[in-house]
Amino acid sequence: AQSVTQPDIHITVSEGASLELRCNYSYGATPYLFWYVQSPGQGLQLLLKYFSGDTLVQGIKGFEAEFKRSQSSFNLRKPSVHWSDAAEYFCAVGAWMDSSYKLIFGSGTRLLVRP
Amino acid sequence: NAGVTQTPKFQVLKTGQSMTLQCAQDMNHEYMSWYRQDPGMGLRLIHYSVGAGITDQGEVPNGYNVSRSTTEDFPLRLLSAAPSQTSVYFCASSERQGYHGYTFGSGTRLTVV
């Protein structure tokens, strides 16, 4: 069955430090992959997406993610975290299930930023 | 501003009451969906629609009804609220079933007492 795993429930980093959020998926074909960010009390905002082509994709707010087919991973990275990056991050995979396309979300990783 | 509008933002219901969560989008998106968000569980798909007049069930449809009479609107109905439906509800829309990412509303926080 299709699934998305975000193994880290919480991550704390210092402001200015680098960040990597992990995401693993289970899907038989090449997936459509997404990262969303949710600030407290807000809806979800799309950070970046991968469909095909270059496996390193750039997104908004200085984020990037790398698709690694051999590891079934799509990890999110940022070289220098800002305090405003504190939020919850969701990885998602777009998959065909029961003859329709659905977006399946991971359980999320909450990022805390130390001053 | 173009986007997805959800109303109300907050709601408290008593067990057994009914209500409708409203969702409207002005981007002419074909695809609309409802998710619920619970701590530690991410977002789970309740119902979705690929166009006016077409709806289907998602992962957790029990206790919820939807209809899609227009492209713009996709209301979610709770017929008899239960405490297990306490959650944050998000409506989302997209072109072409979401290949290019979804646009989310700001959510409705529902408490059933």
Banded pLDDT at A95 (limits 50, 70, 90): confident
CA-CA distance, A56 to A60, in Å (whole number)?
14
- A96–B contact, CB cutoff 8 A: no
Nearest to B97 among A41, A49, A101 (CB): A101
State which amino acid sits at residue B16: G
Give the minimum alpha-carbon distance from A81 to chain B in angstroms, rounded to a whole number.
23
Distances (CA, A) of B2 to A2, B66, B73: 32, 23, 14
What whole-number distance in Å separates Cα of residue A3 and Cα of residue A105?
8
Q: Which two tokens stand for residue A88?
A: 């919850």
Chains A and B: how many Cβ contacts under 8 Å? 58
What pLDDT shows up at residue B71? 95
Asked if the Cβ–Cβ distance from B42 to A107 is below 8 Å, we say: yes
Q: What are phi and psi of A83, to 5 degrees?
A: -60, -30
Q: Looking at residues A71-85, what average pLDDT do you find?
A: 96
Nearest chain A residue to B101, by CA: A46
Pairing of strands A109-114, A10-14: parallel
Q: Is residue A30 within 8 angstroms of chain B, CB to CB?
A: no
Residue B53 neighbours by CB under 8 Å, 6+ apart: B68, B69
Minimal CA separation from B80 to chain A, in Å? 26
> How close A37 gets to chain B, by Cα (Å)?
11
* pLDDT tens-digit profile, chain B (113 residues): 679 999 999 999 999 999 999 999 999 999 999 999 998 888 999 999 989 999 999 989 999 999 999 999 999 999 999 999 999 999 999 987 667 788 999 999 999 99
Beta bridge partners of B54: B51
To the nearest whole angstrom, how far is the Cα of B18 from the nearest Cα of chain A? 24
| Res A77 pLDDT > 80 | yes
Give first-to-last CA distance, chain A, whole Å: 41
What does the alpha-carbon distance between residue A112 and residue B88 come to, in Å, rounded to a whole number? Answer: 22
What pLDDT, on the 0 to 100 scale, is given for residue B103? 92
Predicted local distance difference test score (pLDDT) of residue A40: 86
A110 and B CB contact within 8 Å: no
Residues of B in contact with A34 (CB under 8 A): 101
pLDDT at position A53: 85
pLDDT of residue B40: 81
**pLDDT tens, residue by residue, A32-71:** 999 999 998 888 999 999 988 889 999 999 999 999 999 9
Residue A30: what pLDDT? 76
The secondary element (H helix, E strand) that includes residue B4 is strand B4-7
Do residues A88 and A109 touch, judged by C-beta distance below 8 A?
yes
Facing A43 at nearest CB: one of B58, B99, B104: B104
Kindly determine whether residue B43 and residue A45, on different chains, have CB atoms separated by under 8 Å.
no
Contact in structure between B47 and B60 (CB atoms under 8 Å): no
Q: What is the DSSP letter of A30?
A: P
Q: How many Cα atoms occupy the beta-carbon half-sphere of A65 within 13 Å?
A: 30
| Residue matched to tokens 């082509």 | A53
- Percentage of chain A lying above the pLDDT 90 cut: 73
